[in-house]
Every structure is written in structure tokens, then in C-alpha cells.
Amino acid sequence: MKTLLSIPLFIAATHVSAACYSERPSEAPVLADGSVASKAEMLKSQEAVNDYVAKIRTFLDCNKSRLDDLEHNFYVNEAYSVAGAYNAELQEYRTRDVVAGR
């Protein structure tokens, strides 16, 4: 009976670990320049940043027991840096629109 119960649990555990993102996130996305970018370009940058940050979160969640503190902190800092850079470009984009009267 215990064997019959352990088989589905083993399969479920294998499936969960297979879905875990173990590859290190690639380079940060290239962001649109807020001073000249169109709305579509800014939205594309936003999607790229959201995807990149989500990959980092998943990577960290899946590999928390395998990463040392320094590597963990590097990826956390990378996520904050990319998001901060996008927010700066977005602020420049919005400022440009206000100055232009849009």
C-alpha cells in the first residue's frame, strides 16, 4: 500500500523539479531610450524587463539551496538594477510627453 502511495508522490516531485528553471538568467535586456522611444518601444522594454526579473525570481526560488549568499545577492541586485534602469527611462519618457504637451 505504501508503495502505491509513494509512486504518485515521486512522479509529482519529479515533475515539479523538471519545471524548475535551473539555467542562469542570460544578459539583461537592452532598454529603449526614454528620451526618443515610442510608446510601443517602451512597452516592449517593459515586457522584456518583467520577463527577465521573472526568470531571476524563478531561478532563485528553484536554486536557493544550491546558491551561496554572494551569488544570490548578485542576482537580486541584477533584478533591482534592471528594473531601476527601466524606471529611469520610463520617467524620462513621461517627462518628455509632459514637456511636449501630450
Give the pLDDT confidence score for residue 26 in this predicted structure. Answer: 85
**Cα separation, 53 vs 29, whole angstroms:** 10
The pLDDT score that the predictor gives to residue 23 is 82
Give the pLDDT confidence score for residue 100 in this predicted structure: 65
pLDDT for res 73: 96
| Number of structural domains in the chain | 1
The grid cell for 32 is: 529603449
**Domain range enclosing 71:** 2-100
Between helices 69-100 and 39-63, what is the axis angle to 10°? 170
**What's the confidence (pLDDT) of residue 9?**
46
- Give the chain's residues under pLDDT 50: 1, 3-6, 9-16
Question: For residue 22, what pLDDT is reported?
Answer: 72
